[in-house]
Structure 1
Amino acid sequence: MTYAYNFNAGPGALPSEVLQEAQEELHNFQGIGASILEMSHRSKPYEAIHNEAQQLIKELLELSSDYDVLLLPGGASAQFCMVPINFLTKGKTAGYVNSGTWSGKAWKEAQKIGKTLVLASGEKEYFKRLPDLNNLGIPRELAYVHLTSNETIGGIQYKSFPDTGDVPLFADMSSDIMSRPIEASKFALIYAGAQKNIGPAGVTIVIVHRPLLERIPEAIPDMLSYNVHAKHNSLFNTPPVFSVYMVNLVLKWIVNQGGLPEMAARNRQKADLLYHVIDTSGGFYRGLAHKDSRSMMNITFGISSPEIENKLLVELEQEGFMGLKGHRDAGHLRASVYNAVPYEHCKTLAEFLADFQKRNG
């Protein structure tokens, strides 16, 4: 079977070894005579998968025992409202870093819940450069500081994170979690949709510092309470069983490949390869993000004219490349090179782009 060159921004590529393992186990999981798709979430086989996934997340991020890992439905977009519902309590203000589309959506949802403050914004730079986090001027009474580590649409990514002192630091890491080592202990809460680096769509990882749960009001609906989900080990209602199963397989794949340091080395190599083609094209291709803010996950670029861009997109599709048309909010082109995208696919894309320039430059 011939596979496409998958550069989709999400759901993104999954490791071929993981897909093969899932296929082999689909009809008869571990010899029990039933599929994981039809298994009770209260069964011992599923609970083992569930608990192992939580533990692997903690181990890969080197989290201490006072963190809980939740496996929730709803996507990262549900967290945009769950975060302020849980922590933006009466009389408090939440601080947001507005770095692009997704951080902007999170901020707008929070405004519906309570008072917010924009600590830094990249709007004047058209969200092509990250807002500076060095001098945020964080009021001590803030409920939390929220940022987005990687903006998939603009193709910008933070390389380091601020010290927010006594104010809890929250992050949406949907598009770069498990792509590199991070100092996870800086954060009181991290959330991430799985469908880019660690699995298929359907499950969202929420990592929360346990003392933070004590701040959550009891009056909010149970399904929206992180405290309720933590007390029930994310089994308060039926979890997205198959998605959790797939996340567990991907996490084990990451461990077997060498962990987060190896993921970071591979991802840097892939990104550098494509940025080199853009930067040495003499202006035929142009990177959309400022060089000091470029993402290792989402390489965004334009081309010399709309007509040539359309021609390139047609030829890419004909040659088996998927997902290179940019987001509707930004246009142009975008190559997402998540963990499971092989270097060889990036090399093939780089060679194709160079050849296209020779033929059309």
Structure 2
Amino acid sequence: MTRAYNFSAGPATLPEPVLRQAQAEMLEWNGIGASLVEISHRSADFIAVAAQAEADLRTLLSIPDEYAVLFLSGGATTQQALLPLNFAAPGQTVDYVVSGHWGKTAVKQAKPYVTVNVAADGEPGGFRDIPARADWRLSADAAYVHITANETIHGLEYRDVPDVGAVPLFADFSSNIAAEPLDVSKFGLIYAGAQKNLGPVGISVVIVRRDLLERDGQPRADIFDYRSHAARDSMLNTPPTWNWYLLGLTVKWMLDEGGVAEFARRNAAKSALVYQAIDGSGGFYRNEVAVPVRSRMNIPFFLPDEELTARFVAESKQAGLLALKGHKAVGGIRASLYNAMPLAGAQALADFMRDFQQRNG
């Protein structure tokens, strides 16, 4: 079997060593006579796996002790609905900066519970740039300010942490967590669906400053209360144990490879290869995002017409380059270059792009 280069935006490619270890341990884990996916989440064996995953994630991201780390079922969209319930009082305003599709989704999830002030919106400009910080219209008494650190569909990424004063900054890091060093202390809360850089679909990570957990928030069921999950080490109910185990293996792999500083170097090199192929094409390929905020993780681009786009998708798949069709919201092509994508994959894509242009330009 030959594995192709998988450019899927999520669920995304996983490190091959992680998949091979999971394959080897699927039937029986650590000599216990059963698969890890079969044993109780409250057993000493699984609790040790969960504790090691948290310890390794804290090391990988340099998470301070004053932050709790939660491993929760579901994806980032679930967390978007839980943020106002946990951290905003009834009737309180929350500020959202919308820089793309997932910023809009975050607003939609919050609106049933709070007054949402869209402090800045990049949609009038076609989501080609992140609204300048000087233009944000922040509320004086907001419960928090929310940003989307990387827009998976539109391909924009914050390159600096915006200063929002004393109000806690919340951020969706689903598609660029662990892609480079990050000062967690500049945020009140960070959340991320795992299925891009941290592991498989079905589990999310929430990193939250412990003092914020003291907020009453709004009436909610215990299962929707971050405080209850934190008090029970993310085992308030049965967690997705296999997903948590795979997340732990992925984090350990990143540490073994050199940590976030090394992946920052790799991600810069990978994205440069693809952007060079775009920018050097004389307009045959177009990326419409402002250069200073171009994403390193998700690179959308367009060809001259739909016929060429369809041909590009079909031929790239035949060449072993998978899942390059753009999201239905924007069309075109999208290449996702998460941590598990090797440099050789980005080089193979750039080479294919040049060859395709020579044959069709």
Q: Distance in 2 between matches of 1:24 and 1:251?
A: 18
8 Å contact kept, 1:216–1:227 = no
1:21 paired with 2:21, answer: yes
Alignment correspondent of 1:78: 78
- Output the amino acid matched with 2:258: G
Instruction: Report the CA distance shift for 1:258/1:266 in structure 2 as closer, same or farther (over 3 A).
Output: same
Match of 1:320 in 2: 320
CA displacement at 1:74 relative to structure 2: 1.7
Mean CA deviation greater in 197-206 or 106-115: 106-115
Give the superposition deviation at 1:217. 4.0
* Match runs of 1:25-64 below 5 Å: 25-64=25-64
Q: Is the 8 A contact 1:216 1:225 kept in 2?
A: no
The change in CA–CA distance for 1:134 and 1:177 in structure 2 (over 3 A counts) is farther
Distance 1:314 1:57 in 2: 38
For residues 298-352 of structure 1, the C-alpha deviation after alignment (integer angstroms, 9 at most, x for no partner) is 0110011211111111111111211100000010000000000011111111111
Aligned CA distance change for structure 1 residues 134 and 35 (closer, same or farther; 3 Å): farther
With 189-198 and 163-172 compared, the bigger mean Cα shift is at 163-172
CA separation in 2, counterparts of 1:247 and 1:290? 33
SS in 2 for 1:197: coil
Q: Is the 8 A contact 2:117 2:139 kept in 1?
A: no
1:12 aligns with 2:29: no
Asked if the contact 1:133–1:161 (Cα under 8 Å) also holds between the matched residues in 2, the reply is: no
Tell me how far apart the structure 2 counterparts of residues 288 and 165 of structure 1 sit (CA, whole Å). 31
Measure, in 1, the Cα distance between the counterparts of 2:133 and 2:339.
27
* 8 Å contact from structure 2 (residues 90, 217) kept in 1: no
Match of 1:174? 174
Q: Is the 8 A contact 2:254 2:260 kept in 1?
A: yes
Contact kept, 8 Å, 2:88 with 2:217, in 1: the verdict is no
For 1:173 and 1:237, the matched residues in 2 are separated by 25
Give a deviation string over 1:237-293, Cα, whole Å, max 9, x none.
Answer: 000100000000010111011100001100110000000000000111111322122
User: What per-residue deviation string (whole Å, max 9, x for no partner) do you get for residues 135-164 of structure 1?
Assistant: 535333110000000001001100011122
Gaps of 5+ in 2: none
Amino acid at match of 1:320: G
Please state whether the residue corresponding to 1:71 is helix, strand or coil: strand
**TM-score, length of structure 2 as denominator length:** 0.98
Amino acid in structure 2 at the alignment position of 1:198: L
> Residue 290 of structure 1 corresponds to which residue in structure 2?
290
Give the TM-score taking structure 1 as reference length: 0.98
Q: In the TM superposition, what are the counterparts of 1:1-361 in structure 2 within 5 Å?
A: 1-134=1-134, 136-217=136-217, 219-361=219-361
Distance in 2 of aligned mates of 1:310 and 1:27: 41
Distance across 2 between alignment mates of 1:136 and 1:56 = 36
- Alignment-mate amino acid for residue 117 of structure 1: N
Distance 1:105 1:172 in 2: 11
Q: Is the 8 A contact 2:74 2:203 kept in 1?
A: yes
Query: 3-state SS of the aligned residue for 1:28?
Result: coil
Deviates more, 1:314-323 or 1:278-287: 314-323
AA aligned opposite 2:359: R
What one-letter code is carried by the residue in structure 1 that aligns with 2:320? Answer: G
Q: Is the 8 A contact 1:140 1:166 kept in 2?
A: no
> SS at 1:30's partner residue?
coil
SS in structure 2 of the partner of residue 242 of structure 1: helix
Measured in 1, the distance between the counterparts of 2:165 and 2:38 equals: 46
Assess if the C-alpha contact under 8 Å between 1:271 and 1:337 holds in 2: yes
- Percent identity of equivalent pairs: 46
In 1: Cα distance, 2:337 partner to 2:216 partner: 37
Give the aligned length.
Answer: 361
The residue identity in structure 2 corresponding to 1:266 is R
Per-residue CA distance 1:195-228 (angstroms, 9 max, x = gap): 0001000100001100001103473101111011
RMSD, matched Cα: 1.1
State how far apart, in whole Å, the 2-side matches of 1:65 and 1:123 are: 38
- C-alpha change, 1:114 and 1:129, in structure 2 (3 Å) is same
Unaligned runs of 5+ in 1: none
Letter in 1 for 2:90: K
Q: Secondary structure of the equivalent of 1:97?
A: strand
Inter-CA distance 97–217: structure 2 relative to 1 (3 Å threshold): closer
Q: Check 1:56–1:133 CA distance in 2 against 1; reply closer, same or farther (3 A cut).
A: farther
For the residue of structure 1 that corresponds to 2:116, the secondary structure is: strand
- Superposition deviation, residue 134 in structure 1: 4.3
Q: 1:31 to 1:209 in 2, by over 3 A?
A: same
With 174-183 and 50-59 compared, the bigger mean Cα shift is at 50-59
